[in-house]
Amino acid sequence: MDFYSYQFFIEQAEQSHYGKYAIFLGLIVILLVLALKQFRSKEKRKYRDIFVLITLAIVFFAGIQVNEFEVGKVNQSNASQMACFLESVSKSQHVPLKQLAVNSKVIRDEMLIKVDQDFYQINMNTDLSSYKLEETFLINDQINLVEE
């Protein structure tokens, strides 16, 4: 069973995709250069094929980027909410954040939290604004702590 540390959620909330944006901007620059060369060229067909290929690549890449942007926003929001939740548990239980880990990437009812060496089930109210910790015991205590 995987448990995710506080540091995992902080890194998820701060994660950015600047590399993908750089590739997208690079493709647009290449497209603009090819467009200028095509308009200046005496042969109108000289750069047409590569211009069409780059345009299709940009459209395809833009579609992927929009989808990943939406998913990334949701993941960052979930990670921020979970980090705030772990800070709240840390404060109420008087435990350092390094000793907390949860078995879910999103806040939900009945998830498990590891506090130092003990495990608790979290019972959330319907609007997820309050919680109750109830000690629980794992049948299989083999856990994988994800801290990246």
pLDDT tens-place string over residues 47-69: 677 778 888 888 888 888 778 87
Mean pLDDT of 13-38: 77
Q: Does residue 136 or residue 71 have the better pLDDT?
A: 136
Quote the pTM value: 0.70
* Number of domains observed in the structure of the chain: 1
Q: Which domain holds residue 11?
A: 2-146
Q: Which amino acid belongs to residue 60? A: F
A 10 A CB-CB count for 38 gives: 16
**CA atoms within 13 A of residue 65's CA, in its CB half-sphere:** 16
Q: For residue 129, is pLDDT > 90?
A: no
Mean of the pLDDT values across residues 14-29?
Answer: 76
Name the more confident of 44 and 107. 107
CA distance 134 to 113: 10
What is the pLDDT at residue 16?
66
